[in-house]
Structures are given as structure tokens and as C-alpha cells.
């Protein structure tokens, strides 16, 4: 992975009538990442993805692909990406191969030569001559990914690629994504409403809720096991920070407004409190905030299909 940003959004927003589906969204996706875009139902994932793929126009903000703005004259950037939006549409009475041939000819490039390798990649070679109407849901989903892979894109954007699949289908798609990421040096952006799925496939992630970005960063850092964010309120911020730093109890500590936020294992919180009090630092409050995982579960449970 390098630090080149392949996809960036600035203040991206979409309003439908009076309701904002997406607000002020700043995303940064680096080359080679599997970027998980996580949010409960109705959070704004599909709306964002449609804007990234230039299928709908943002109300505000902009998208940059490979360092260039995505504008109406957008073909150059879009050629380098492949997309799968929710349920892919195929001609059900035609074979998978024929469907891909049609898509390749619409693209007007030489992506027809990719059809065999792409069918191989998604494990549909032996069924490529069967009509799509005879396909299982998982096979259609894999055909959707095959379609996104035509033209050897540098970036693929997949909207809930495992939605509606059974556990075996989910595992197959997950392994496919991991393989594409390993072998292809491809950047993969995928959305999901399941934290476990993002945890297993993604290297970086963003959480979106009610159209707004909640958090963004590397998965390992955001989900560090057993870590809690602890907020300490004290009038002696600088002294407290020095005690915390020398204690070695916290993984990280920084000042937020008039408080200190530490990331630390839960079982060390009591020791930290004792050290601060022993150093004559008044602690007005010491609040373990929820872990990211608990936070995500709470917003997922609270969300409903709107
Ligand atoms: N074409 C549209 N017209 C009006 N409102 C829309 C439209 N598309 C989406 N919305 C609204 O925008 C919000 C975000 O929807 P979106 O489909 O982006 O969510 P999502 O995160 O993809 O959800 P899900 O997990 O259910 O797919 C919802 O409140 C939805 O009702
Ligand atoms: Mg959606």
C-alpha cells in the first residue's frame, strides 16, 4: 500500500427534497486499500456510491478520482474504475458470457478480452454459457463483480456485495475480495452494514450514520481489541497529561477541548485514576466512552429501514 489517494471527496452532500441523505462527507481512499464503508440501513451508503460513480449529481461538494475532479467530462477517470450498485441488472434470458460481451461492447474498449479471465476469477467459467435466470443469487452477485472487473480497473466500488447471500456465498465473495486485493494491486471500496464483514476484509474504513461521517481510519487502529476511549476531566490538563505519559498505561492521550482523551485497555482505568489522585491532580470525571464496536452496534440497532 502506498499513500497515494485514489479517491477523495470534499464536503460531498446529497439532498432529496427536504431531506439530506448525505452531508458534508470527506473521504480519503488510498491506493491498494480495501476500504470499508460501513453504516446502518438508510445511512447514505448507496447515495454516496452513486455520486462516486457519477450516476447522480451531488447537491454540494465534489469527488476527485486519481487526483482529477469528477465532472461532466468524466470518461477518463471513470474508465479506470468498475462499479457494482446494489442489485446488478442482467439480461436474464442471455448467458453470463453474452451479458459480459454486451457490457464490453458498450464500453467501447478492448475489455472483451478480459471476459475469460474475469469469469475465471469469480468462479463462473463452467457456468458461463448458462442463462442468468438459472443462476443463484450468489452467482448473480459474482457476475456483478465480474462486470465491475472488465477493463482491468484500478479501483472497484461495490455496494453491499454480500447482501442477501447465505454464509457460504458471503465467504466466497469475501475470499474473492481478499484475492483481488492481494493479487491485483487493486483498490477496493465496498459498503456494508455489518461491522464483522468490514473487520474481516477491510484495511481502512469509514462509518457513516444519518448521512454524516462518524469516524474514518485504519481498521486495526479503530478496532484495537479491548481498547476503550476514556475521557478525563481535570482543571490541570498539562500536569495530568505528563502523568499519563509517564505511566505507560495509555496507548495514546491527547487534549480535546478542556479534557483529555486516552485510548487504553479497560482494566487499567482504575490504576490511572489512582496515579492521578496520588499526584494531587483533581479528577472531576473519568468517563470510559464506549468502544467503536459498541458504538456501531448501538447505532445499527437504533436504525430502522426507512
Ligand atoms: N431517490 C431517492 N429519493 C428520495 N430519497 C432517497 C432516494 N434514495 C435514497 N433516499 C433516502 O436517502 C437516505 C439514504 O439512503 P441510501 O439508500 O443511500 O442508504 P443506504 O445506506 O444505502 O441504506 P441500505 O443499507 O438500506 O442500502 C434514506 O433516507 C433514503 O430514504
Ligand atoms: Mg444501500
65 contacts 7 by C-beta, under 8 angstroms: yes
pLDDT in tens, 139-157: 898 999 999 999 889 999 9
Residue 171 covered by a domain: yes
CA 47–ligand 2 middle distance (angstroms): 7
Measuring from atom 2 of ligand 1, which residue has the nearest CA? 16
Domain count, the chain: 2
Residues 242 and 208 in one domain: no
User: Domain range holding 99?
Assistant: 5-221
pLDDT in tens, 186-217: 999 999 988 888 888 999 999 898 898 888 88
CATH number of the domain residue 231 falls in: 3.30.70.980
Residues 12 and 153 in one domain: yes
Burial track 241-269 (b if 16+ CB lie within 10 A, e otherwise)? bebbeebebbeebeeeeebbbbbbeeebb
CA 71–ligand 1 middle distance (angstroms): 23
Residues 47 and 165 in one domain: yes
CA 42–ligand 2 middle distance (angstroms): 7
Q: Against a cut of 0.85, is the pTM above it?
A: no
Residue 290, number of CB atoms within 10 A of its CB: 12
C-alpha cell at 90: 442482467
Atom of ligand 1 at shortest range from CA of 208: 21
Ligand 1 is surrounded, with C-beta below 6 A, by: 16, 21, 39, 41-47, 193, 306
Measuring from atom 14 of ligand 1, which residue has the nearest CA? 44
Residues 204 and 238 in one domain: no
C-alpha cell at 75: 470518461
C-alpha cell at 304: 430502522
The DSSP code for 284 is S
Residue 100 covered by a domain: yes
Amino acid at each position: 500500500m502506498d499513500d497515494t489517494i485514489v479517491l477523495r471527496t470534499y464536503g460531498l452532500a446529497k439532498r432529496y427534497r427536504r431531506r439530506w441523505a448525505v452531508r458534508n462527507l470527506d473521504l480519503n481512499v488510498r491506493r491498494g486499500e480495501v476500504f470499508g464503508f460501513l453504516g446502518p440501513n438508510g445511512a447514505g451508503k448507496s447515495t454516496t456510491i452513486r455520486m462516486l460513480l457519477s450516476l447522480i449529481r451531488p447537491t454540494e461538494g465534489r469527488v476527485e478520482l486519481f487526483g482529477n475532479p469528477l465532472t461532466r467530462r468524466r470518461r477518463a477517470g471513470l474508465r479506470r474504475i468498475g462499479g457494482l450498485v446494489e442489485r446488478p441488472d442482467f439480461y436474464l434470458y442471455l448467458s453470463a458470457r453474452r451479458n459480459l460481451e454486451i457490457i464490453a461492447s458498450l464500453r467501447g474498449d478492448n475489455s472483451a478480452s478480459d471476459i475469460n479471465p474475469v469469469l475465471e476469477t469469480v468462479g463462473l467459467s463452467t457456468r458461463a454459457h448458462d442463462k442468468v435466470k438459472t443462476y443463484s443469487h450468489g452467482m448473480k452477485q459474482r457476475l456483478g463483480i465480474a462486470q465491475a472487473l472488465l477493463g482491468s480497473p484500478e479501483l472497484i466500488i461495490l455496494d453491499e456485495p454480500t447482501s442477501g447471500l447465505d454464509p457460504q456465498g458471503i465467504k466466497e465473495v469475501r475470499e474473492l475480495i481478499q484475492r483481488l486485493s492481494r493479487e491485483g494491486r487493486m483498490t477496493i471500496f465496498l459498503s456494508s452494514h455489518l461491522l464483522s464483514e468490514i473487520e474481516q476484509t477491510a484495511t481502512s474504513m469509514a462509518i457513516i450514520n444519518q448521512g454524516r461521517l462518524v469516524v474514518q481510519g485504519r481498521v486495526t487502529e479503530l478496532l484495537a481489541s479491548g481498547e476503550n476511549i476514556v475521557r478525563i476531566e481535570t482543571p490541570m490538563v498539562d500536569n495530568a497529561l505528563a502523568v499519563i505519559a509517564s505511566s505507560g498505561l495509555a496507548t495514546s492521550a491527547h487534549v480535546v477541548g478542556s479534557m483529555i482523551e486516552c485510548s487504553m485497555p479497560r482494566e487499567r482505568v482504575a490504576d490511572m485514576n489512582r496515579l492521578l489522585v496520588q499526584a494531587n491532580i483533581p479528577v472531576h470525571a473519568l468517563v470510559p466512552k464506549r468502544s467503536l464496536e459498541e458504538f456501531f452496534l448501538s447505532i445499527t440497532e437504533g436504525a430502522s429501514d426507512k
